[in-house]
Amino acid sequence: MSALDEIRAERLRKLHLLEEKGMNPYPNRSLRTHEVGSVLGEFESLTESGSILTIGGRIRAIRKHGGSAFLDLEDGTGRIQLFLKKDEVGEESFALFEDAVDIGDFIEASGTAFRTKHGQESVQASTWRMLAKTLRPIPDEWYGLHNEDERFRRRYLDMLLNQEVAAIAKKRSTFWNAMRSYLLTAGFIEVETPVLENTTGGAEARPFVTHHNALDIDVFLRISAGELWQKKLLVGGLPKVFEIGRIFRNEGMSREHLQDYTQLEFYQAYSDYEQGKQMVTDLYRHIAKETFGTLEFTIGEHTVNLGDEWETYDFCAILKKEYGIEPLSVSLDGVRAALEKAGIASDERMSIERGVDLLWKKIRKTISGPGFLIGVPVYMEPLAKRSEGNTAVVERFQIILAGSEMGKGFSELNNPIDQRERFVAQQALRDAGDEEAQMADMDFVEALEYGMPPAFGFGLSERLFSFLMDMDVREAQLFPLMRPKE
């Protein structure tokens, strides 16, 4: 028998002891009257009034001294010292506590607030009972879980042992709610769109495929937060819509990329990407202030201040200066030559679109931002309007921050004829083996034929959160997907 098995067997014995003594190890209800945080916040008044209060929580430490015991009790709102004395709780109850209670157990105690001789805020118990008996020991707080694989698999333990992980959960909530409150205040309505789709749209990515048994059809998990669906809502007369939801991309893993993650997308009728720039600038500053209390961040080797004037970067000008190519007219051979010169691998499936994108991404890593990347060729963006000044490029911007792309917005394409032609071009790329090219969604084209007003659309993912936290995107998730243990 392993050491863990022995510990578990001993705790099972204690569980049965509780039952023998008439104490339910897992009662249905807690009788708690106060959170620990509220006790600490109102400590002086509770002490003066002598009010009887009931608290509950997990035992994080036990210090026994003869006929008394001091416990550190934690309930997620705070940690407080609980004092049990044999003379106060009774000899039988105290003996059961000594015989059946372990660090990690959840207990409940009633008593009064008092301050020890050393000034420690405490609660002196008159009664106690078990709320949940634990069968496995929590790893030592000082040593914890150091293996990344184990930390991600048992994130609940990682959170117990590392307050920074708990802080991630709280900051993530603030991060998304900062966006939600901003948009709701601006008159947007929150919507929910399908996760299972017949065709994927709104992004260029390889989808997950599954089978729908009831309809007996293969369907795709969405790769965007309802872009084409939300634009159908604009056709239907809703002028401002947004969704915060999970999306799925069957692609590689890296410090910046996950296969399932949360994304915001919003769409505003009678607007365009120029108007959208100021709105997005304000939104990012609002998110940063609400979540982190600052506009200044150190992200890897980059120092970024969202309060600075945001730069503008021209896509074609940058590639021409760096590689000597003109993205609007370059041939596939020209792209291959530039890739080879840049030390970027290519294969027989390489297209102009993919090659130009790879060349840009190498340059992007050197740009700190914050700024807007504009002037992207039409062939790289099938859902954005052409620029009125140069119809070979689209009215699209990407947020550049710390060497990466942190959001994308554009004047939405509402010309059904142009949209059909671009879908056909994308489908041709897909048929030629490009699994990330967009599928032709003729249902969406049909919707556009009924008329969609000019609109601005924008999307950002939780990558922004991980970057502002300056951590791997998997670390910034609470439960990243893991390969099953063998």
Domains of the chain: 3-132 (2.40.50.140), 160-310+369-469 (3.30.930.10)
Which long-range contacts does 231-236 make (Cβ < 8 Å, 24+ apart)?
231/267, 231/412, 231/444, 231/447, 231/452, 231/455, 231/457, 232/444, 232/447, 233/191, 233/267, 234/267, 234/269, 234/412, 234/452, 234/453, 234/455, 235/447, 235/448, 235/450, 235/451, 235/452
**Calpha distance 94→321 (Å, rounded):** 79
**Is the pLDDT assigned to residue 30 strictly greater than 80?**
yes
CA 142-144-145 angle, to 5 degrees, is 155
Burial 36-69 (b: 16+ CB within 10 A, else e): beebbeebeebbeeeeebbbbbbbeebeeeeebb
**Is the pLDDT assigned to residue 434 strictly greater than 80?**
no
**Tokens (6 digits) for 334:** 């020209």
pLDDT value, residue 190: 98
- The percent of residues in the chain predicted with pLDDT above 70, rounded, is 98
The answer for 380, left when phi > 0, alpha when psi is -120 to 50, beta otherwise, is alpha
Upstream peptide bond of 370 is cis (omega within 30 degrees of 0):
yes
Q: pLDDT tens for residues 116-147?
A: 999 999 999 999 999 999 999 988 754 556 67
Classify 106 as helix, strand or coil. strand
**Calpha distance 195→317 (Å, rounded):** 38
In whole angstroms, what separates CA 436 from the centre of its chain?
A: 23
pLDDT value, residue 85: 95
Other Cβ atoms within 10 Å of 436 Cβ, number? 18
**Calpha distance 300→379 (Å, rounded):** 32
Q: Do 229 and 236 contact (CB within 8 A), yes or no?
A: no
- Within 8 A by CB and 6+ apart from 421, the residues are none
Q: Do 447 and 266 contact (CB within 8 A), yes or no?
A: no
**Is the pLDDT assigned to residue 306 strictly greater than 80?**
yes
**Is the pLDDT assigned to residue 61 strictly greater than 70?**
yes
Q: What is the DSSP annotation of 203-271?
A: S--PPPEEEETTTTEEEEE-SSSSHHHHHHHHHTT--EEEEEEEEE------SS--SEEEEEEEEEET-
**Is the pLDDT assigned to residue 403 strictly greater than 90?**
yes
**Which amino acid is present at 349?**
R
H helices, E strands: number in the chain = 16, 18
The phi, psi pair for 338, rounded to 5°, reads -65, -40
**Calpha distance 259→243 (Å, rounded):** 19
Q: pLDDT tens for residues 225-259?
A: 889 999 999 999 999 999 999 999 988 878 888 88
From 87-101, 127-141, 296-310, 442-456, the region with the lowest mean pLDDT:
127-141
pLDDT value, residue 430: 81
- The closest of 475, 105, 83 to 255, measured between CA atoms, is 475
Question: Biggest alpha carbon distance in the chain?
Answer: 89
Half-sphere exposure of 107 (CA within 13 A, CB side): 27
Q: What is the DSSP annotation of 268-322?
A: EET--HHHHHHHHHHHHHHHHHHHHS-SEEEETTEEEETTSPPEEEEHHHHHHHH
Q: Which residue has the higher pLDDT, 309 or 153?
A: 309
- The closest of 371, 362, 308 to 338, measured between CA atoms, is 362
pLDDT value, residue 382: 86
Confidence of residue 346 (pLDDT cuts 50, 70, 90): confident
pLDDT value, residue 143: 53
Burial 245-273 (b: 16+ CB within 10 A, else e): bebbbeeeeeeeebbebbbbbbbbbebbb
pLDDT value, residue 3: 87
pLDDT value, residue 428: 86
Rg of the Cα atoms in the chain:
29
Confidence of residue 371 (pLDDT cuts 50, 70, 90): very high
Question: Helix 163-185 crosses helix 273-292 at what angle (to 10 degrees)?
Answer: 140
**Calpha distance 53→455 (Å, rounded):** 57
Q: Do 308 and 315 contact (CB within 8 A), yes or no?
A: no
Classify 388 as helix, strand or coil. coil
**Is the pLDDT assigned to residue 56 strictly greater than 90?**
yes
Other Cβ atoms within 10 Å of 430 Cβ, number? 16
